Structure 1
Amino acid sequence: MSKKQKGILFIILSALCFSLMNMFVKLSGDLPSIQKSFFRNSVAVVAAAVLLVKSHTPFRWQKGNLGLLVVRASFGTLGILCNFYAISHMNLADASMLNKLSPFFVILFSFFFLKEKVTLFQTGAMTAAFVGSMFIIRPGFQFQEALPAVIGFLGGLAAGAAYTAVRGLSLRGEKNPFIVFFFSAFSCLVTLPYLLFAYVPMSGLQLLYLLLAGLFASGGQFAITAAYANAPGSDISIYDYTIVIFAGIWSFLLWDEIPGITSIIGYIIIFGASLAMYLYKSIRTNGSSQSARRKQ
């Protein structure tokens, strides 16, 4: 196997894991999103701590990175809460696709906060993705029906802000296992007071579903880390959208859900925008490599 093939395999594995996380969150039933988030992250914080110990990474942040770590953890927690609410109240594939708007928001936030250049092509792709999201949200329908989709959209936005902070932290030399640990621990601490005062009793099966959600979330995090360790994002990121295929399968098998025609149009537009970005990035990367070779 080449490194690129390994990267593709790992990113598809991460998409499978995250789709299973979403499936178990939905199976856990009508529980508050904050409660679901706590149990999901309680597993993740243990897994991240074990990884830190095994890799001999210290449990401390690099000097000057605390503020950005708090930004990443805050928006990451908000993104999870919004995503879990959307998963619990709408079609699983729709919620998964709205959450996958995050790469486009990363481009936007990177422009404003990391001062990275945004091309006209990228602006067009972001606009197309926003139009595609409107087909899934269907704002013309009743507010009560559109609300979960709007919250799912906001979850994608919050995730984009969180991933932008992750990029900033990586540029500052912060280790990925510690970023995951800090986020998971922060999220557990933020949601713990709610559990202490407004805990909703769960059955043993519901608890099992949430712990499995946390287990697959951890697996997804490790798999996506391995994916990007083997190949650059420009080569493999497009395969992350297989999560929508997996989510569609679980939706049909478990809840007999089939996306509507407007949702499918939205999928096509968002995926098309992402594919265009992927091809655009690949062409630019190859062009830069060829130019460097000519200069040598």
Structure 2
Amino acid sequence: MSNRAKGIIAILVASLGFAFMSIFVKLAGDLPVAQKVIFRNIVSMIVAFIMVTINKESYYGKKENRELLYIRSAFGTIGMLLFFYSISNLVAADANALNKLSSFFLIGFSFLVLRERISKPQLIAIIIAFIGALLIIKPSLDFEILPYFTSIMAAMFAGAAYTMLRLLGNKEKYYTIVLFFSTFSFIVLLPFVAYNYVPMTSMQWLYLFLTGLGATIGQFGTTIAYKYAPAKEISIFNFSNVVFVTLLAIPILGELPDYLSLIGYFVIFGASFYMFKYKKPEVEDI
């Protein structure tokens, strides 16, 4: 099997892991968002800690990289809180499709932070993608639009986190970055979770454990995928996440996106494919 084929398989497995994460977040029910996020990160933190220990790498990252690690972790934590809120209050496929706008926010942040020029194909892709987002959101002047807004904000913070990852480059091992982010998120959210803790049933404990397991598979699957093949060759397969979420949500959650949302998914995918063909994006998971 070629490295490209291995990379595609890994990214499909990662997308499936993130899809299950979204499903289990919804199944966990009406719990505080921070409580859901902290459980999502505990599993990743444990797995990353084991990997760092086995490979005898740094638990805290190199001193010169700490500032970027803190900024990346802060953006990632905020993005995850907003994303989990949107998943809990929207059709799961809508929230995941809107989260794919992170690739387009990455272009903007790369221009602002890395001084990378925005090409004409990129600009066209951004416009097309946000037209797709409007089809999903179906704007209205009421509070029902709030979860859609937070979903787009989650994509923006994810794009900012990806920009920090690009600045880090290969300066840190991927499991050190995951451990730093997961630990940072755990420490920051712990006081809020302790203060607002809602007792959980045994099924909710199981669902949140499975949420963390799905997220961990997604995180490490994405990293492994990009070790086998460059983003320019396989990043488009990230959109399979939306397909997986849609197919899983129909029988498990009884959620069926309306026809405008489905058109919006195709429009965003079309913009992603257009950018994939002309831009060659470099995107990791938060």
TM-score by length of 1: 0.92
Deviation at 1:142, TM superposition (A): 4.4
Residues 3-27 of structure 1 show CA distances to partners (whole Å, capped at 9, x for unaligned) of: 1111100000000000001111110
Q: What is the distance in 1 between the residues matched to 2:254 and 2:42?
A: 31
1:147-226 matches, cutoff 5 A: 147-170=146-169, 173-226=171-224
Which has the higher mean CA deviation after the structures are superposed, 162-171 or 187-196? 162-171
Match of 2:59 in 1: 59
Residues 41-100 of structure 1 show CA distances to partners (whole Å, capped at 9, x for unaligned) of: 111111111111122212232232222111111110111111111111111110110111
Q: Secondary structure at the match of 1:116?
A: coil
Pair 1:60–1:257, CA change in 2 (3 A)? closer
1:1-296 matches, cutoff 5 A: 1-139=1-139, 141-170=140-169, 173-281=171-279
Task: Give the gaps of 5 or more residues in structure 1.
Answer: 285-296
Q: Which runs of 4+ in 1 moved over 3 A?
A: none
Deviation at 1:220, TM superposition (A): 1.1
TM-score by length of 2: 0.95
- Root mean square deviation, CA, Å: 1.4
Q: What is the distance in 2 between the residues matched to 1:143 and 1:52?
A: 47
Identical columns (%): 44
Match of 2:284 in 1: none
Does the CA-based 8 Å contact 1:238-1:275 persist in structure 2? yes
Task: Give the gaps of 5 or more residues in structure 2.
Answer: 282-286
Does the CA-based 8 Å contact 2:24-2:208 persist in structure 1? yes
Does the CA-based 8 Å contact 2:122-2:279 persist in structure 1? no
Does the CA-based 8 Å contact 1:73-1:186 persist in structure 2? yes
Deviation at 1:198, TM superposition (A): 1.1
Which has the higher mean CA deviation after the structures are superposed, 81-90 or 130-139? 130-139
Q: What is the distance in 2 between the residues matched to 1:108 and 1:2?
A: 33
Q: What is the distance in 1 between the residues matched to 2:64 and 2:124?
A: 35
Does the CA-based 8 Å contact 2:15-2:218 persist in structure 1? yes
Q: What is the distance in 1 between the residues matched to 2:172 and 2:16?
A: 27
Does the CA-based 8 Å contact 1:170-1:176 persist in structure 2? no
Q: Secondary structure at the match of 2:256?
A: coil
Look at both structures and tell me which one has the larger radius of gyration over its CA atoms: 1
Q: What is the distance in 2 between the residues matched to 1:90 and 1:252?
A: 14
